[in-house]
Chain A
Amino acid sequence: MMRKQNFKQQVINLTPFMGLLLLFAVFMVLGTIKDINVAYGMKTIVNQSIVVAIIATGAVFIYTLGSFDISLGASAAVSALTGGMAYNATGNLFVAFLVCIGLAVMISLFNSILASVFNLPVFVTTIAMLSVLNALVLVLIRLNGTGDEIAVPSAAVKPLDTIGFKLVVLIVYWCLCAFVFCFTKIGRKQKLLGGNPICAKLTGISDKKMAIIAFAMAGIGVGLGAFVSIVYAPTLTRNTASSVGMDVIIAIVFGGMPVSGGARSKIQSAVIGAFSMTFLSQIMTILNLNSGIGQMVKAAIFLLVVFVATFNQRNKMLPR
């Protein structure tokens, strides 16, 4: 009986990964049937997923605490624009990289310190920050751009605009996050705080310190995502990373992470979710579905996958 339950639990845990494999298989089969260039399609998928995967990996730390940050996309946009401006001023890509990371970490830390010092709900702080950052995007473009954009010369980023470079960034950052999350006290403390904040506090874990660490880790991810955005699309506009904020939430949940955080949090959820969502979008494109119908199918599959992945977490009462 116990073994059967364990098996069932393992199957449920593997649902998001199985979903990703299934989507990959469907993409390959459809691509072959419809005679599209599958290799090119895969390159597109990696390019489209990578920014969300990097940012979402860092965001797992915030979600593990049971809170969430809606301003990550806007933060990535501001960091990318500032990084672009830094390149245009210095002609040095490494300076742009440092500016992206530094600014993103500063924004993230500002969010967490504001929430910690003034006892504000993190979510509302990030909503306010979302407005400020969206406004900053417009201001930066107006002040430093040529018309509606800030453009980094594409020749400057071309050597880095390869799948290899982007995958290396993702893998290195993911390994760092996985190490901190799975093999250090920080990860364990964060899971305990997310699962049972009262118990965690009574054992001496500082929620403020953990929140600051979580936001700093997420900030590094946002900075890396912003830099990869510059490399992939060096013409930066008000639409740069505009949908990333919500895509991050979807990716994390789609990848099997509970929104309530806690012990069930998984660092791999972000990457699985980000790639799954892009595979799904590409499948809709191959099937030539109307964008609206495509989005409806995506929504239905999203709910279905999350429903199956959390099948064993049902309660008598409605979840809140």
Chain B
Amino acid sequence: MKKGKKITTKILGIATIPTVTFIIMIILCAVNGVKLFETTGNWIAFFRAVTSVMLTTFALSINLNSGRFDFSIGSISLLSSIISSTICIKAGLTTPFMLSVSLISGIVLGALSGLVYVLIKLPPIIVSLGIALFYEGLSFAITNGYGVSFVANAELISFPSVAHYLEVIIIALCVIIILFDYTRFGYNYRALLSGQKVSVNMGIKEIPNAIGCYAIAGGLMGIVGFISATNTGNIQMALNFGSIGVMFTAFLPMFIGGFIGRFCNERIGYVLGAVTTALISLMYARLDVDSSVQQIVTALILVGFLIYLNNENKLKVLLIGKRGLHK
């Protein structure tokens, strides 16, 4: 009986936020006389948003959970997509090659960023600011400020499809779960996360672990860069921290994922967080909501959710009383 109750609580905890969001989005669209999912394009847009946001959330959370704030993930995404698209256009390579080059570039750029961090031992926030400026500058220098355009290259813009995005989601999720939950690297990561000093004194090697984290985050952002580039066939330049906006898309799904992660694997929580935000984004697109209204509503949802998370016990006391809480 107790086990059954536990399973029900878990299922409710996992499914409530995405399901309620889905129902609200459907109702909002229906009230305005449109369907949330009407065309194949809607499905593609939805899965693209889920994939990009999920990967960005993974990348951000890997370092943020360890207390390392990384402003450079957007610039890694930008630079790796520039490297891969330039190589593929010049060598006439196909989409799978572009994906591979993007991934490898992202890993290398992330590892370099991690290497700078461990070598100069400055707070990660400062290092990531410097790295973001450097990679943005390098992207600009490589393309002479013109960016990269391959709109006419039918092969390189053939990636967007539901099946391809699903493949990326499943593979990325499995790799991240295996890496962080079933390997020595993941064990060390979790140990360092819960007690840096104790772990280092126990002999866990922090430096390779940190570089590994940056490399993995970089690889994930390489894929995000690839997805963004192959969607539009255009890569636009960003200077003076223009690339950091990418990072902000991951905060809401990260907090939602953190909440859902209480009932299942945290990484699955992040996927569901990404699904939730992608549903909201699709609703904005379907109802043609003004971008400024979108920003305000998303920020309010983020603040509202955080208020709930940080005052959960107080709210429970208010709603069910102290006795109910102790039961």
Contact = CB atoms under 8 A, between A and B. Distances in A.
Interface string B63-76: 00011100000000
B210 A246 contact: no
B1 interface: no
Nearest to A247: B240
Contacts of A167: none
A320 B295 contact: no
A114 interface: yes
Q: Which of B125, B127, B251, B298 has the most CB of A within 10 A?
A: B125
Contacts of B129: 246, 249-250, 253, 302
Q: Which of B68, B133, B206 has the most CB of A within 10 A?
A: B133
A302 B295 CA distance: 32
Contacts of A294: 137
Contacts of B43: none
B39 interface: no
Contacts of A132: 295-296, 299-300
B293 interface: yes
B317 to A, nearest CB: 14
Contacts of A264: none
B241 interface: yes
A291 B145 contact: yes
Contact of A293 (B116, B125, B137, B210): B137
Contacts of B240: 243, 246-247, 295
B137 A320 contact: no
A291 B238 CA distance: 11
Interface in A255-308: 258-260, 290-300, 302-303, 306-307
Nearest to B302: A128
B210 A318 contact: yes
A119 B311 contact: yes
Contacts of B116: 303
Contacts of B130: 299-300, 302-303, 306
SS of A interface (majority): helix
B141 A293 contact: yes
Interface in A102-159: 114, 118-121, 124-125, 127-132, 134-136, 138-139, 142
A259 B241 contact: no
A88 B132 CA distance: 39
B303 A296 contact: no
Given A293-B141, A299-B137, A303-B116, A320 B292 contact: no
B140 A319 contact: no
A213 to B, nearest CB: 22
Given A120-B303, A259-B126, A292-B137, A131 B131 contact: no
A250 B140 CA distance: 20
B23 interface: no
Given A120-B303, A135-B293, A296 B138 contact: yes
Nearest to B196: A317
Contacts of A291: 137, 140, 145, 239
B77 interface: no
A132 B130 CA distance: 27
Contacts of A299: 130-134, 137
B32 interface: no
Q: Which of B139, B206, B240 has the most CB of A within 10 A?
A: B240
Given A291-B239, A303-B130, A128 B200 contact: no
A296 B121 contact: no
13 contacts: A125-B306, A128-B306, A135-B299, A139-B292, A249-B129, A292-B136, A293-B141, A299-B131, A302-B130, A303-B116, A303-B127, A317-B200, A318-B207
Interface of A: 114, 118-121, 124-125, 127-132, 134-136, 138-139, 142, 243, 246-247, 249-250, 253, 258-260, 290-300, 302-303, 306-307, 310, 314-320
